[in-house]
A and B are shown apart, each in its own frame.
Chain A
């Protein structure tokens, strides 16, 4: 039973993730007055890549990187329940809590960083370095917001936090939500905090040396991971969801906001993004925390 549950969660996250990614490519294309690729193009690409061999091998640690990243993404997905009712599609969430999920969120990227390092491609490590430096700034406002929410709901359990909300946390504590959104945009790899992959123009980023089925693995984990992160945000700030329709609507609205933000703004350099995140969103989060918990 639990195995079937987990398998279904995985399939749903995989398909929805690629659907969203296809929509993302289309929507950004419209922003740039292009037509964009067919919606399922990235999905077909990933399936095709799975049947291809990689071009060069750099030893076993090189291969383990993407595999750990995929495992990290699946773990994250399994420890976040889909619905706030806590009955079906709960995964393994009863064995974990929000603190565990926060750590699982970085487990995959760190594992992949090992593979990137083993490949020895300096452009890959450049991406990792930028990613880690940016990560620390990214997490601070997010942590402050989450700590405040956990304290207010008196629980670190995701289902409890989702059910505690009579008005959605996003509207009850708007400052916390805004601060967390800044971090969330960065976590989703969107402008202005997308210097890690630096898509399109620079040949760098953690995926540099990977090809063939390992590139496919990285793409697939990206899809699963995106969906897991969206579900987490919906549970914490948007009151959770009781059915698939509600879940899809809420995650899609959040996703649309994030990519719209990403299409409009330019990219920060690494030090600029750290400086910005440690000042503006952090200040907003601290004010939000004080206002929310002052009693």
Chain B
């Protein structure tokens, strides 16, 4: 595109439909499509549609931009339209937090882009590598730090996640799935562009990613609010992506996990939106015992959490497998162990997620009267569950597509033999065999147990339990597990995570900024005389500088 009509003679901006851009635009389009089912259940302000359309447009522009200038413009539009969408429901403080972080992110990316531009006078991705090589040492470091800061804020990497959890919690239930599934992927996309087009950062990213995933997992375990738990879970999952993104062999794992995470977070957040829609409650301590009231939602959430846990029969295992083998290939052994540890720790919050809502006992009489969510909530979930089951059965279904991207980015392609076998340098596994073996064994065991099934006494009421020869009643605390994970706070070594927070740091930063702003308050007092004096001094300084 020629911008000379605007007086910008040597600036070229362009769009390009690469395979990578196509992959991410499929994620955007699919998520938007799935979310549209929900619209009729929410009373939305008119502004929602305007800004949502603007947001979707800017997302497509981000992925199809072939230069950093257009990328930045789209990035800024995305941040601003997200701000307006969030402003429909967020409290003032959280909204301020979001916009300050979003602006800091955008500004630092802007400065970084200008630094890159200064060396070769080109914004294009294809020139980026040469431009970066031509930068001085200090400039290069400043560029990388600013760029990473901007991207990490969007990803919510630990330390930069201060805005994210609150914003997720308070955002509209229809918009939260989009925040987690799509907007965080834009950070992933920006990071892919950075590491493939400009500078390779394998070890730094691996360390940052794994620390993020461990801390976020343990923070998630503590949460009582469902949406906060899922927000931390999103951070942790993004952490896995960041961990492998920089590796020479890790790109397919990162892409696969982006795909799975998009689908699974849409499913989970839509499920939670349904729960909140029906019960009007959003905390584990206020829910419970809904399994027989909402069996379809229960099974769909179950499919979601099996994937989130990375359990074998479904798609989650495929991406985890690629992530693990690529780390093993790179010989990042301690980092691999830490990723697996974080993945195993996630079982606690994953069980809490399904137990706190659907299992155990209803914590409130009103919960005994609820019924299944409307179809408009169930249909998108069925679509997503179908995608996850297909990915589990044919884990290599997307590998040919990924290979196009890998070739384009100049990586080694993933081995491929059949759709059901996912291959790696450290062995392979066959999704079709795993899922059918599990299905057959499950059905055989079920038939074996049903063979002598006689009419068993149904529990009279929910207090009809084996309870140490006593009888529990309404006052007994029976929904035991909603505070699951609290005992981890008593573990000495985990207090490193639980006793520390980024809040004091940001409070300190805010206080220093205000103190700094006080200096300007001395100049800009509002009195005409001070203003005039300052203007005169400034003019003199300028004059002296120009005749220097």
A103-B310 in contact given A117-B355, A132-B347 (Cβ < 8 Å):
yes
Which residues in A have their C-beta under 8 angstroms from that of B465? 119-121, 209
B484 vs chain A, min Cβ distance (A): 5
Of the A-B pairs whose beta carbons lie under 8 Å apart in the complex, a sample of 9, sorted by A's number, is A53-B452, A74-B445, A75-B434, A103-B311, A106-B347, A117-B481, A122-B478, A125-B355, A144-B333
**One of B445, B467, B480 near A126 (C-beta < 8 A):** B480
Residue in chain B with minimal CB distance to A122: B480
Closest 9 CB pairs of A and B: A117-B359, A122-B480, A97-B427, A95-B430, A95-B433, A136-B345, A156-B426, A271-B490, A156-B427
**A78 close to B (CB within 8 Å):** yes
How far is B402's CA from A37's CA once the two chains are assembled, in angstroms? 60
Q: Which of A59-67, A227-235, A246-254 is found at the contact surface with chain B?
A: A59-67
How far is B345's CA from A132's CA once the two chains are assembled, in angstroms? 8
Q: Which of A15-23, A28-36, A185-193, A274-282 is found at the contact surface with chain B?
A: A274-282
- Please indicate which of the listed interface residues B321, B345, B433, B445 has the most CB atoms of chain A within 10 Å of its own CB: B445
Please list the residues of chain B having a beta carbon within 8 angstroms of any beta carbon in chain A. Answer: 289, 291-292, 298, 302, 309-312, 317, 320-321, 324-325, 328, 331, 333-334, 336-337, 340-341, 344-345, 347-348, 351, 354-355, 358-361, 424, 426-430, 433-434, 437-438, 441-442, 445-446, 449, 452, 454, 456-459, 462, 464-468, 477-481, 484-485, 487-488, 490-494
Q: Are B493 and A54 in contact (CB under 8 A)?
A: no
Q: Which of A107-115, A236-244, A255-263 is found at the contact surface with chain B?
A: A107-115
Q: Are B478 and A110 in contact (CB under 8 A)?
A: no
**A166 close to B (CB within 8 Å):** no
A110-B467 in contact given A53-B456, A97-B427, A126-B480 (Cβ < 8 Å):
no
How far is B269's CA from A18's CA once the two chains are assembled, in angstroms? 45
Which residues in B have their C-beta under 8 angstroms from that of A63? 449
- Please indicate which of the listed interface residues A54, A129, A144 has the most CB atoms of chain B within 10 Å of its own CB: A129
Which residues in A have their C-beta under 8 angstroms from that of B345? 136
- Please indicate which of the listed interface residues A51, A130, A143, A208 has the most CB atoms of chain B within 10 Å of its own CB: A143
B103 vs chain A, min Cβ distance (A): 38
**One of B311, B454, B490, B493 near A110 (C-beta < 8 A):** B311
A139-B340 in contact given A118-B359, A133-B488, A271-B491 (Cβ < 8 Å):
yes
Which residues in B have their C-beta under 8 angstroms from that of A121? 465-467
Which residues in B have their C-beta under 8 angstroms from that of A71? 438, 441-442, 445
A143-B481 in contact given A125-B355, A156-B427, A289-B333 (Cβ < 8 Å):
no
A5 vs chain B, min Cβ distance (A): 13
Q: For the complex, would chain B's binding face be called helix, strand, loop or mixed by DSSP majority? A: helix
Residue in chain A with minimal CB distance to B309: A110
**A70 close to B (CB within 8 Å):** yes
**One of A61, A102, A119, A151 near B331 (C-beta < 8 A):** A151
Residue in chain B with minimal CB distance to A72: B438
A289-B441 in contact given A120-B359, A143-B341 (Cβ < 8 Å):
no
How far is B328's CA from A144's CA once the two chains are assembled, in angstroms? 12
**A123 close to B (CB within 8 Å):** yes
Inter-chain CB contacts under 8 Å: number: 211
Q: Are A75 and B437 in contact (CB under 8 A)?
A: yes
**One of A56, A114, A275 near B464 (C-beta < 8 A):** A56
How far is B478's CA from A122's CA once the two chains are assembled, in angstroms? 6
Question: Size of chain A's interface in residues, with CB distance under 8 A?
Answer: 77
How far is B430's CA from A289's CA once the two chains are assembled, in angstroms? 30
**One of B292, B428, B464 near A97 (C-beta < 8 A):** B428
How far is B485's CA from A114's CA once the two chains are assembled, in angstroms? 17
Q: Are A136 and B312 in contact (CB under 8 A)?
A: no
Which residues in B have their C-beta under 8 angstroms from that of A55? 456-457, 466
Q: Are B302 and A114 in contact (CB under 8 A)?
A: yes
Q: Are B291 and A122 in contact (CB under 8 A)?
A: no
Q: Are B445 and A147 in contact (CB under 8 A)?
A: no
Which residues in B have their C-beta under 8 angstroms from that of A198? none
**A199 close to B (CB within 8 Å):** no
Residue in chain A with minimal CB distance to B431: A95
How far is B467's CA from A229's CA once the two chains are assembled, in angstroms? 33
**One of A53, A147, A156, A274 near B340 (C-beta < 8 A):** A147
Which residues in A have their C-beta under 8 angstroms from that of B344? 106, 135-136, 139-140, 143
**One of B310, B428, B457 near A56 (C-beta < 8 A):** B457
Q: Are B442 and A103 in contact (CB under 8 A)?
A: no
Which residues in B have their C-beta under 8 angstroms from that of A275? 491-493
Q: Are B456 and A57 in contact (CB under 8 A)?
A: yes
**One of A97, A132, A278 near B351 (C-beta < 8 A):** A132
Which residues in A have their C-beta under 8 angstroms from that of B480? 122, 125-126, 129
Which residues in A have their C-beta under 8 angstroms from that of B438? 71, 75
Which residues in A have their C-beta under 8 angstroms from that of B311? 103, 107, 110
Q: Are A103 and B484 in contact (CB under 8 A)?
A: no
- Please indicate which of the listed interface residues B328, B428, B465 has the most CB atoms of chain A within 10 Å of its own CB: B465
